[in-house]
Structure 1
Amino acid sequence: MTHPQTPAFIDFEASSLDLIASYPIEVGVCLADGSLHSWLIHPHVLWQDWSDTAEEIHGITRDTLIEEGISVRRVAHHLNELLSGPVFCDAWTFDSFWLHRLYRAADMRPAFQLESVSMLLSPAQIQRWSAIRRQVIEDLGLPVHRAANDARILHTTWLTLTDGAGSSSTIST
């Protein structure tokens, strides 16, 4: 199924891929108009998990989060100001876990619903997603595993795959 409007996309980077102990360290959003927003997240006092392997992938140190991250409550507030309705991700199991962990630590509820990008796509589009995503990454030349970049990649992949109202060249940078 295709969506009549360009959706918003969200991506998280995390302390590890452990779905028991991990927590979000960065969140990025690409809105329908292509505008980007991202925040480094200061670890909540109860969040202690850390993976050196994950750090090698995303390049964000725990010290950077402590020095530059903003509070879970401020991040959740910013997300609620920007987002409503369905917001799409490409790793629903992980992203929903990290979204829940963020909002629970903030003692808030999201003003939007997290959905899998697959809900927007036909079976044929799902089959083409990975190849188009790889091409988008090459065309944009953005480093992956940073939340804002990955949200932009989702947005541009969706536009390319669905021949959306805009093209990747019309997306704001």
Structure 2
Amino acid sequence: MTLPTLLDIEASGFGRGSYPIEVGLARADGSVCAFLIQPQNEWTHWDPKAELLHGISRSRLEREGYPAIEVARWLNDELAEIGIAYSDSWGYDSTWLSLLFHHAGMLPRFRLEALRSLLDESQLRCWKRTKEALIRERGIQRHRAGEDARLLQLTYLRTRDAGC
């Protein structure tokens, strides 16, 4: 069985006015890719607490980020064929994904679904414990989109195979 493709988005903060700053994918083969997103002129919301979590400054985004249209094209290129990606924070990630595609002037050629829809009761019971164990074992840097997507994928794999 192939692994589900996981998508994760880091943002400028939470709630009204927040926007995506990094998008990452963990592909079905386990490889990971992530891109920083250049803020649009009207994207002014910035939460210093969010920056403390992800460690990405707004000035870094302005220097190293890719335009929204390039990130949206990349996502469509990556995901159109499989047609689906999963997120553990569907409510937030789907909103930020919509905002990204809106500013790119494009429509996504895939859908984003809640990761929870793939999990059975036994996986849900041991999800948090398994995820925390993987963070410790692998020294995973949290709150970066690519690493978080891969962590979710590894947690899915271990909870599925271990039958915890």
TM-score clears 0.5: yes
Specify the alignment match of 1:161 in structure 2.
159
**Whole-angstrom CA distance in 2 between matches of 1:38 and 1:48:** 22
Residue number among 30, 36, 53 corresponding to 1:34 in the alignment: 30
Specify the alignment match of 1:93 in structure 2.
91
SS in 2 for 1:163: helix
Whether 1:6 and 2:15 are equivalent positions in the alignment is no
**Whole-angstrom CA distance in 2 between matches of 1:153 and 1:58:** 15
Q: CA deviation at 1:140?
A: 1.4
Check the 8 A contact 2:3/2:30 in 1, yes or no: no
Specify the alignment match of 1:167 in structure 2.
none
SS in 2 for 1:145: coil
* AA partner of residue 22 (structure 1): S
Specify the alignment match of 2:13 in structure 1.
16
Residue number among 140, 143, 146 corresponding to 2:141 in the alignment: 143
Matched pairs, number: 160
SS in 2 for 1:75: helix
Specify the alignment match of 1:47 in structure 2.
43
Percentage of matched positions with identical amino acids: 41
Deviations 1:123-165 (A, max 9, x none): 221121111111111111111000011011011111111129x
**Whole-angstrom CA distance in 2 between matches of 1:59 and 1:92:** 22
**Whole-angstrom CA distance in 2 between matches of 1:82 and 1:36:** 12
83-92 vs 67-76, which deviates more?
Answer: 83-92
**Whole-angstrom CA distance in 2 between matches of 1:89 and 1:135:** 20
Check the 8 A contact 2:2/2:29 in 1, yes or no: no
Question: Could you list the runs of 4 or more consecutive aligned residues of structure 1 that deviate by over 2 angstroms after TM superposition?
Answer: none
Normalized against structure 1, the TM-score is what?
0.89
Normalized against structure 2, the TM-score is what?
0.94
**Whole-angstrom CA distance in 2 between matches of 1:5 and 1:33:** 7
